[in-house]
Every structure is written in C-alpha cells, then in structure tokens.
Structure 1
Amino acid sequence: MMSKKKIIAGALGSDVHVAGVLNFLDLANKEGYDTVYLGGAVPLEKFIGGIIETDPDIVAISYRLDSDALRNLLKEFEMEIKRYGLQNKIYIFGGTVETAKVAREFSFISKVFDGSMSIDQIAMFLRGKRDEKEDEIPPQTLTERIKYKSPYPLIRHHIGLPTLQETEREIEKLAESGLLDIISLAPDQNAQQFFFTPEEMDPAQDGAGGAPFRTRDDFTRMYQASRRGNYPLLRCYSGTRNLIKFSALLHETIHNAWAAIPLTWYSDLDRRSDRPLLEAIKENQEAIRWNASMGIPVEINESHQWALRYCHGAVEVATAYIAAYNAKKLGVKYYIAQYMFNTPPEISPKMDTAKMLAKKELIESLHDNDFISYRMVRTGLMSFPADPYMAMGQLVSSMFTAAYLKPHIIHVVAYSEAIKRATSKEIIESVKMVKKAYLEAMKGLPDFEADPVVKERKEQLKEEAMLIVRAIESLGKDSDNPLIDPEVIQAAIKTGILDAPGLKKMSVACGKLRTRAINGAYYAVNEKGKPISEAQRLKSLGFEV
C-alpha cells in the first residue's frame, strides 16, 4: 500500500493570517494527505528547518501582506532551498491577488492560489498531485467524470450564439476557465428541425434561438474548441426531427455526453416540430433505445415541459416517473433525471422541495443493477426577472435550495437569460455564484423533509402521481405495458389524464385542466377555483382509481 503524501504549510515572515492555511490543510486531510502545520508568522529559517525535518512532498507558503516584502522573502526562500538541496519538492503559494502576482515571478513555485479558485478546483489539484496525474486529461465519459469530481457536482451550461465564430470563441474561453465540466451546444431552430433537410430552412431564421449548425464539421469545430483547459464534456440537444440520425451525428462528432430526448414533446403537442404526436412518441422512444444500445446516458426532458405549461404537481411528478420508467424499459442504464426548480414560478421553495423529493423517490424506486439515475438540478427559466441583480439573487437562492437534493450535476442557467443570450462572461460569473452557494450548502442544510408540511405534501404528490399512473394502466388494460405504449400515452393526453392549462386549444390534447397556486403549491381546481383531489379529477374524466 502506498504511503500518504505529505504537505507542510505555514504563513511566512511576519504574516499572522492563518485561516487560509488551516482551511487548505483541512481540505488536504480530506483528500488523503498527511499534513504538518507550521503556524503563523513563521521565520524563514524555521520554515526551511520544517521542510528538512518532515521531508514533505508539497510545501505550501502563505502570505497576505506587502508585495515588496514578499518579493524579498521569496528571493531568500529560493536561495535557501537551493542551499539545502530542497528543489525536489513541489512549492505552492496562497495569498491575495497582489501577493499572488509576486509569487508568479518565481519559477520554483509551481502553483499559485489567489482566492479566485473554488474549493472543488483546489481539491482536483490536490487529487492530481496525490495520484501523480496532474497533467492527465479529466475523464471523458459522464459516469467517470461524476466519480472523479465527487463529492462535488459537475457544472453544466449551454452556449449557442448567433454565429458559429462567436460560439466557437466562447467555448474556448469556457474550456480555458476550467469552471465547467459540461458544455451544452444549443443549435438554432433551423438546425434542430431541418438539419437533414436544409432546403426546408428559412434563412431569415438563421441563428434564432441558437447557433446555426449546418454541417458535420460545424460540430467537430466546437469539439476541437473544447480541447483545452479542463477538457469539458460536450453534449447537444437532440433535434426535433430525425432524432436517431441526429443522435448518431452527435455521437460521432462531439462524443455526446448524454442524449436529451422528450417522450411526448417536439411534436404537434408543443408545435416545436410538425411531427404528429403518435409518430413523435414512437420516434422519441426509438431514439432513446438507440442511444441506450450505444451505451450513451439519456435524459428524458419531459416532466418540466408539463410544468412550464402550468400543470399541477401530481401531473409533473407522474410524468417524471413515467419518463424514467420508459428509459428503463427501453434499455437505458444511466439516466439523467432533471429537477427544474421554480416552475411554475409561483411555487414556494418549501413546496418545490416537496415536489422534487416526490419525483426523486419515485424515480429512484426504479433503481437496480441495470438502471441508475443521476440527479441534475437547475433554475427555472420563467423565474428570472429582467433586472440582472434580481436575477442573480434568484439564481443563487434557487440553487442553494436545490443543493438539498445532493445533485450529481448542476445545470447553471446564466442570470442574463431573461435579458440576452449568455456569453462566456455571464456564464463564468453565474457559475462562480452557483458554486459558492453550493459550497455553503455543503456545510450543512436544515433537514427540510423533517418539516411536517413538506413531508405531507411529498407523500400526497407520490400518492396522486400513482393514481395517474394507475389511470393510464386502466386506459391501456389491453396493452402488454401501457406506460410505454405510444398509443396509450397519446390517449392519456387526449383524454386529459395528462393535461395542462398551457395545452388549451391544442387539438391533440384535452386542454381542460385548471390549476392554481395555493399556499405555494399548484393544485388542480374546479370551475370555481376550488382545489380538487386527484381522485376527483380523474373520476370527472371517467376513471375510477
């Protein structure tokens, strides 16, 4: 068994500030190092003596005072380590932005921390030194990257600017920042719908809603742009037609980290595609099955689409379960379960948490050796105000609450989304805000589930969601497996078992559901605005459950 690596650390010269040193050594302990603390205001000769006596692998020097004084100290320090033959150690420095600038002048110091790096970045540095893999490219598959980064979540953001040149340039900046683990490409609507039939594209809509990808090489360019910094994974939306061809394209060009495919959407249900609903369900399922057969993780972005159309909690939770059930039955091993908070926007943090816990428990009840889900949290787009500072507050508060789910992935949505498309500047700013909020939450949150109101609502949602599931099974009683039968799913939407106010006047949906926010939660209501139970709602549709 390999012996632990050792770090010695202290504040040099007359600097008595030791909080940073102690925090660093505490993190190093957690990462498997033996640590030696020299204290504050350590004279140069004592620091050198400590290195000789303890023979560490890494020497951590801290200094937060005057820049000129530090320069003189480091000149002497360098002379002493040469005098005693101590150049074989790894020397690192931590201080203020000003003192860090001075430390970078000295070649014997291999790494400088100026307070701008997050704890997870420092932890990754320590792991690299511990395992002697600091120059190795981080894992390039989702499951391995999650393990590599644990207990810190992977950070994701999307990018899709009006031109490919802008998008490529911003991807380079994001990769160099080392802050994102996953970059999601956002193609424009022309590409999503007509990539394989370019003659159907409307040139006036080029760049609308995303980047104008038109060829295989366009995707390859973006992948090459990401081959720097911390080598983030790339992924892309699935397209709204020709989903299997699009999946193959993404697999071959950007090594798609995971596929995001709806179950019922991108059809005449939402008019993001001209595919009839039944045809769309079948094609979506085939695309899910194809990705599963290739070993590609899959996200079924379904339940939040219902929430964006103001469904009540029971429908949202039921569709989360049905989506995960479909993924499992279609052969998916690694499933990305998205938990979009703040949607619909009048939901309270307490009721949002209850809803997400209900989803989590039902989805994870499907786990076995062949089916594992990863939790991905995000802020709801509709919750962002157009004022940038208010939006920053919304982003931070939302992700602080979402940290209770202990996500494997945080899908950061830049605070500028309600104002303009995010560039690397807004994305990096947003990621830093979210990372800080999450790291604070990691110190310990209250047990929200101990709140009897949260627990009661969670159990109510689970029970009502399963009433919806049973109603669908009753509707498809002649089917071998109603929950994955496209015709049964279509019928569940047409009859109103699955419904939302935002589907009113959509010919393929019932569109009669009324919902209302009451005490921070969304309920189905009658024509007088009074809440009704899910059993009552389903009975009114002709289903006794």
Structure 2
Amino acid sequence: GIHTLILQIMLNTPKYTWGIQDIAKARALRVLVNELEDPDFAVILQPRGGLDYFSSNLERARAQLASVTMLMDDIEPDNPASPQIIHVVSYSEGVRLADPEVVEESVRITRYALTEYRRLKKKGDMPEYGKSEMVEARTQNLLKEARRMIKFIEATIPNAYSPIGFYSMLKSGVFPLPWLIACKDEFEAAVNQPVQFLHGGVHVVDREGKPLSVSQRLFGIAKNLEEMGFLPSISGYADSSRQVSGSGGGQKEHLGEEH
C-alpha cells in the first residue's frame, strides 16, 4: 500500500482569500490528515501558490510569490522543518508559462523570502501572524465543521472512501461547487448552492445571504441521498444527525485501512 502521502495544499484560491483564512484552512487540513499517520504511513506537507493569484504585472507577481512563501511558513510556525516541500509556482504564470530563467529566479525569490521572513520574526521585527488568536479560532471552527461532515458521510454513504462514494458526495451536494464548468446538470445539487465571500473566505449562504453551518446543510444533503437511495427516509437522517453531533474524527479508523 501507500506509505507516504504528499499533501499538496493550494493557497490563494480563490485569489481574494485572506491570509488568515488560508493559514487556518491549511492548518486544519494538515491536522485532519496527520491523524492518519502511523509507523507505516507518513504525511509530508507541500503548500503552493494559486495559479489565479499571480498578477500580469511581473514586478507585482514577484512580490506575490514572496508573500505566499511567508504564508507557507505560518502554517506550522513552530516547526523549522515545515513545510517539508515547497511547490514553487513561477511568478510569470499570470502571463505565460515559465522558462528556465524564470523558474530559477522564482526559486531564488522563494528561498530568500523564507529565510528573511524567519530572520525578521526571530528578531521581533515581524508580527507572528501564524500564532494570532484569529487564526487559531478559525482553525478550530474549520476542524469542528469538517469532523461533523466526515462523521455524517461515514454514517450515511456506503463505502464512502471509494470512487462510488466520492461520486455520491459530489452528487448529493457535500461539496458546494458553484463555479463548476462541466457536468452542471449531473451535479446540480453541488452547483446550485449559493456562496458569498465573507470575512476573507467563501461560505455557503441562505436566501438572505447569511452563512450556513455544516449542521444546517446536512438536512438538504440527507434529502438528496434519500432520493439517490442511500437513506431509507429522512427519519434515518435524524438518527445519523444525532451520531454526528459530536466532534470526533472517525475517519482515521476507516481510512487507515486503505493507505
């Protein structure tokens, strides 16, 4: 089986995402996936910048590359060996594909930004953004919401961690995909979820534009699963809902069998 997972996390996606949200998202995902680690399975973090993030102004794009490198360092600020791998997106991507010279310069910018950022933080000349209370609060909220959704999925979708299970998640609207280009009719439940950009992040919202929690979304997802034949009735969802009210991370035991 698989013994090493390279966990690639794309930052700056959408490109208007606040740094606080990006750090929290990456950190929450890192925590969840790290729970799968054991003596035979390791997870290696590999953050990267978002392609859509880079400006067509190459000087600005160079600065953006340095900026996203600093974000990467704040995912695990107390670990000098993190990130273990950096996927360097060349600064020219907003205009054209990179040539060898641009690739080399992009690597130099990334290395310098990481070294200088750490030096400034050590001297106290740079705020410790990765240790802010806002980042920690957002991270904990994302973890709580993600674990609730994971427990619901495991309780309602047979063979959740399989191709058909993943298809069922897409079909039932587990993942809101309002910008999906292909297969819109097939994944209508995912496409038709309204989202808004709030507080630097993307949120599913109700008709009044108020953000919906995972708990509020579960009933609609359960209804879709019932129509797909995965739930006997909405009353079955009520039983699952009681099971997912906790905050545990049951995915480790299930996924751990399929490294």
TM-score range, shorter chain: 0.7 to 0.9
Q: Matched residues in 1 for 2:92 and 2:65: separation?
A: 10
Q: Matched residues in 2 for 1:429 and 1:408: separation?
A: 20
Provide the residue aligned with 1:508 in structure 2: 186
Provide the residue aligned with 1:461 in structure 2: 142
Q: Secondary structure at the match of 1:506?
A: coil
Evaluate the alpha carbon distance shift between residue 401 and residue 535 of structure 1 in structure 2; reply closer, same or farther with a 3 A threshold: same
Q: Matched residues in 2 for 1:517 and 1:470: separation?
A: 27
Q: Matched residues in 2 for 1:339 and 1:447: separation?
A: 21
Q: Matched residues in 2 for 1:528 and 1:424: separation?
A: 50
2:102 aligned with 1:421:
no
C-alpha RMSD of the superposition: 1.8
Q: Is the 8 A contact 1:472 1:488 kept in 2?
A: no
1:365 to 19, 35, 42: 35
Q: Is the 8 A contact 1:351 1:521 kept in 2?
A: yes
CA deviations on 1:312-351 (whole Å, 9 max, x unpaired) are xxxxxxxxxxxxxxxxxxx211110012111111111111
Provide the residue aligned with 1:517 in structure 2: 197
Report how many residues are paired: 211
Higher helix share: 2
Q: How does 1:283-298 map to 2 (within 5 A)?
A: none
Evaluate the alpha carbon distance shift between residue 447 and residue 362 of structure 1 in structure 2; reply closer, same or farther with a 3 A threshold: farther
2:160 aligned with 1:483:
yes
Provide the residue aligned with 1:235 in structure 2: none
Q: Matched residues in 1 for 2:161 and 2:206: separation?
A: 30
Q: Is the 8 A contact 1:475 1:488 kept in 2?
A: no
AA of the residue aligned to 1:472: I
Provide the residue aligned with 2:21 in structure 1: 351
AA of the residue aligned to 1:526: D
2:211 aligned with 1:531:
yes
Q: Matched residues in 1 for 2:210 and 2:25: separation?
A: 21
- Identity value in percent: 29
2:46 aligned with 1:376:
yes
In the TM superposition, what is the alpha-carbon distance from 1:447 to its structure 2 partner?
A: 4.3
1:402 to 69, 72, 82: 72
Q: Matched residues in 2 for 1:518 and 1:422: separation?
A: 34
Q: Secondary structure at the match of 1:412?
A: coil
In the TM superposition, what is the alpha-carbon distance from 1:485 to its structure 2 partner?
A: 2.6
Q: Is the 8 A contact 1:500 1:514 kept in 2?
A: no
- In our comparison, the structure showing a higher alpha carbon Rg is 1
2:4 aligned with 1:334:
yes
Q: What TM-score comes out, normalization by structure 1 length? A: 0.37
Provide the residue aligned with 2:132 in structure 1: 451
Q: Matched residues in 1 for 2:61 and 2:153: separation?
A: 39
Gaps of 5+ in 2: 76-81, 122-126, 223-236, 245-259
In the TM superposition, what is the alpha-carbon distance from 1:540 to its structure 2 partner?
A: 2.7
Provide the residue aligned with 1:432 in structure 2: 108
Q: Is the 8 A contact 1:351 1:454 kept in 2?
A: yes
AA of the residue aligned to 1:474: A
In the TM superposition, what is the alpha-carbon distance from 1:474 to its structure 2 partner?
A: 2.4
Q: Matched residues in 2 for 1:368 and 1:448: separation?
A: 30
2:169 aligned with 1:492:
yes
Q: Is the 8 A contact 2:5 2:43 kept in 1?
A: yes
Gaps of 5+ in 1: 1-330
Q: How does 1:207-286 map to 2 (within 5 A)?
A: none
In the TM superposition, what is the alpha-carbon distance from 1:528 to its structure 2 partner?
A: 2.6
State the structure with bigger RCO (CA 8 A, min sep 6), 1 or 2.
2
AA of the residue aligned to 2:194: R
Q: Secondary structure at the match of 1:375?
A: strand
Q: Is the 8 A contact 1:412 1:434 kept in 2?
A: yes
Q: Secondary structure at the match of 2:217?
A: helix
In the TM superposition, what is the alpha-carbon distance from 1:444 to its structure 2 partner?
A: 6.2
AA of the residue aligned to 1:520: G
AA of the residue aligned to 2:98: A
Higher strand share: 1
Q: Matched residues in 2 for 1:332 and 1:444: separation?
A: 39
Q: Matched residues in 2 for 1:437 and 1:401: separation?
A: 10
AA of the residue aligned to 2:154: E
Q: Is the 8 A contact 1:493 1:508 kept in 2?
A: no
CA deviations on 1:416-444 (whole Å, 9 max, x unpaired) are 11111110111111111111001123336
In the TM superposition, what is the alpha-carbon distance from 1:534 to its structure 2 partner?
A: 1.2
AA of the residue aligned to 2:21: M
Q: What TM-score comes out, normalization by structure 2 length? A: 0.76
AA of the residue aligned to 1:340: M
CA deviations on 1:5-43 (whole Å, 9 max, x unpaired) are xxxxxxxxxxxxxxxxxxxxxxxxxxxxxxxxxxxxxxx
AA of the residue aligned to 2:148: L
CA deviations on 1:231-252 (whole Å, 9 max, x unpaired) are xxxxxxxxxxxxxxxxxxxxxx
